[in-house]
């Protein structure tokens, strides 16, 4: 009888103890990193339709888990084996298995970092997305240039150009073009708040016209301290009904531009050629950053009507045609000057995306078109110039 009781007790201990030990061991397994010192990050792709066994084998092959059977049993007990979301995931051997399972269940997919520089066009953004493996460039361009989609997004233009705010974004590899564009436009609207909308009205311009002007400023200079000065030139010209004559607008209107702007290009009538058309072009020529938008809204108070490249990344500003012609002779027709001193504190080095200034050709185009009008209007206030 005593022996029977002893056997029963042993059996009960085993019946209870073994499962308890098993559960404790599984819990320890789930919460202990398999390779605590291995911080190397590995991207694992879970495709739509993959079964859990395939995912486990992939994790094991990349040394992200140990004991695949334990992992499978633990996942089944916790209910994770049928709750995983397709996508890219970033794991390391120093991650506890429970964290991997939670990521798979919650869809904490790996996000690709994408930085869009100020002044990029739709085409350039599409190229970067394509190179990053996030989105096909042709599909992105087609949607960003779709008039119906632009209207759906509340943009008063044929494309989304100008409203894809340049910044650093994080997108999953399966992000759709619509999600990407919507994120960029939403961020633009967050930055361009109601106060700036009111400021646009004060200037007698629509938000779309401000964004268009900001895009031209963005393309004219990479120097932050020059942006309000460039803006003042264009604002002054608009007030006096003088053509803007901006090379970047001409370039934007040339299909398959080869890098060299010619006199014929300046005469070619396109919707964006501000040597030919009056006022602003129909829409932005790039996607401007916050500094250029601010400059478009808050130009410096000057009487400048011209600027010409000094060939050192900065520009010489002039109040009338005579001053401008002298500046052209000094900076464009003579040997290049030595490098300019470092920019003032708080200014940036010119961005790679900022092209050469327009006004290397302004001495020619102005004299051929409305030089008398410009010279007369400029000389009226020639004693009130503000030094750059």
Per-residue confidence (pLDDT) for residue 9, from 0 to 100: 52
Specify whether 159 is located in the same domain as 230.
no
Question: Cα 53 vs. chain centroid, distance in angstroms?
Answer: 39
What pLDDT is stored for residue 386 in this prediction? 27
User: Do 73 and 213 belong to one domain?
Assistant: no
> Does the structure show a pLDDT above 60 at 291?
yes
pLDDT of residue 328: 94
Q: How many CA atoms lie within 13 A of 287 on its CB side?
A: 24
Q: Are residues 149 and 222 in the same domain?
A: no
Instruction: Calculate the average pLDDT of the chain.
Output: 84
pLDDT recorded at residue 227? 97
Mean pLDDT confidence for 298-306: 97
- DSSP letters of 13-62? HHHHHHHHHHHHHHHHHHHS-SSTT----EEEEE-TT--HHHHHHHHHHT
pLDDT tens per residue across span 104-118? 999 999 999 999 999
**Cα dist from 352 to 90, 237, 313, whole Å:** 32, 27, 11
Whether residues 121 and 65 fall in one domain? no
Distance CA 14, CA 207 (A): 77
Verify that 238 and 350 share a domain, yes or no. yes
Instruction: Let me know if residue 66 belongs to a domain.
Output: yes
What is the Cβ-side half-sphere exposure of residue 6, based on CA atoms within 13 angstroms?
Answer: 3
Q: What is the CATH number of the domain that holds 102?
A: 3.30.1490.480
Task: Look at strands 42-46 and 87-91 and give their pairing.
Answer: antiparallel
- Which residue range forms the structural domain that includes residue 39? 25-106
For residue range 152-184, list pLDDT tens digits in order: 999 999 999 999 999 999 999 889 999 999 999
Whether residue 333 sits in one domain with residue 262 = yes
352, 117 contact by CB (below 8 A):
yes
Residue 377 has pLDDT above 60, yes or no: no
Percentage of the chain lying above the pLDDT 70 cut: 80
Digit-coded pLDDT (tens) for 8-45? 455 555 445 556 555 777 788 888 999 988 889 999 99
357 or 245, higher pLDDT = 245
pTM of the model: 0.77
- 354 in the same domain as 259: yes
Number of domains in the chain: 3
Residue 226 shares a structural domain with residue 317: yes
* Residue 317 and residue 306 in contact, taking contact as beta carbons nearer than 8 Å: yes
For residues 89 and 125, state if they share a domain. no
Q: What pLDDT was estimated at residue 159?
A: 97
User: Do 289 and 366 belong to one domain?
Assistant: yes
Same domain, 241 and 174: no
Q: Per-residue pLDDT tens for 48-99?
A: 889 999 999 999 999 999 999 988 988 888 788 777 889 999 999 999 999 9
For the chain, the straight-line distance linking the first and the last C-alpha, in angstroms and rounded, comes to 108
Q: Is 7 part of a structural domain of the chain?
A: no
């Amino acid at each position: 009888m005593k022996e029977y009781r002893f056997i029963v007790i042993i059996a009960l201990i085993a019946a209870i103890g073994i499962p308890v030990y098993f559960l404790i061991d599984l819990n320890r397994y789930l919460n202990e990193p398999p390779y605590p010192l291995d911080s190397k990050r590995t991207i694992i792709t879970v495709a739509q339709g993959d079964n859990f066994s395939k995912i486990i084998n992939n994790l094991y092959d990349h040394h992200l888990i140990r004991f695949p059977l334990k992992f499978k049993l633990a996942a089944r007990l916790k209910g994770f084996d049928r709750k995983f979301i397709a996508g890219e995931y970033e794991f390391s051997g120093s991650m506890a298995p429970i964290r991997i399972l939670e990521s798979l269940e919650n869809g904490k997919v790996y996000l690709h970092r994408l930085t869009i520089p100020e002044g990029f066009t739709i085409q350039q953004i599409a190229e970067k997305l394509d190179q990053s493996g996030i989105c096909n460039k042709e599909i992105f361009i087609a949607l960003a240039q779709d008039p119906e989609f632009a209207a759906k997004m509340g943009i008063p233009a044929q494309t989304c150009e100008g409203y894809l705010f340049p910044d650093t974004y994080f997108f999953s590899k399966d992000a759709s073009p619509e999600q990407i564009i919507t994120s960029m436009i939403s961020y633009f609207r967050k930055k361009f708040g109601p106060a700036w909308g009111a400021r646009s009205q004060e200037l007698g311009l629509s938000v779309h016209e401000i964004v268009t002007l900001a895009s031209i400023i963005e393309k004219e200079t990479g120097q932050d301290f020059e942006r309000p000065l460039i803006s003042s030139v264009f604002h002054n010209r608009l007030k006096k009904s003088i053509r803007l004559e901006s090379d970047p607008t001409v370039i934007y209107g040339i299909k398959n531009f080869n890098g060299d702007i010619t006199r014929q290009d300046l005469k070619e009538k396109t919707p964006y050629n501000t040597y030919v058309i009056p006022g602003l072009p129909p829409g932005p020529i790039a996607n401007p950053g916050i500094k250029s938008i601010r400059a478009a809204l808050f130009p410096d108070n000057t009487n400048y009507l011209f600027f010409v490249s000094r060939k050192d990344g900065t520009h010489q500003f002039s109040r009338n045609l005579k001053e401008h012609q002298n500046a052209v002779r000094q900076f464009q027709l003579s040997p290049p000057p030595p490098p300019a001193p470092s920019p003032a504190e708080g200014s940036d080095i010119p961005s790679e995306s900022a092209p050469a200034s327009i006004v290397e050709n302004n001495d020619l185009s102005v004299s051929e078109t409305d030089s008398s009008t410009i010279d007369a209007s400029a000389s009226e206030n020639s004693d009130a110039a503000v030094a750059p």
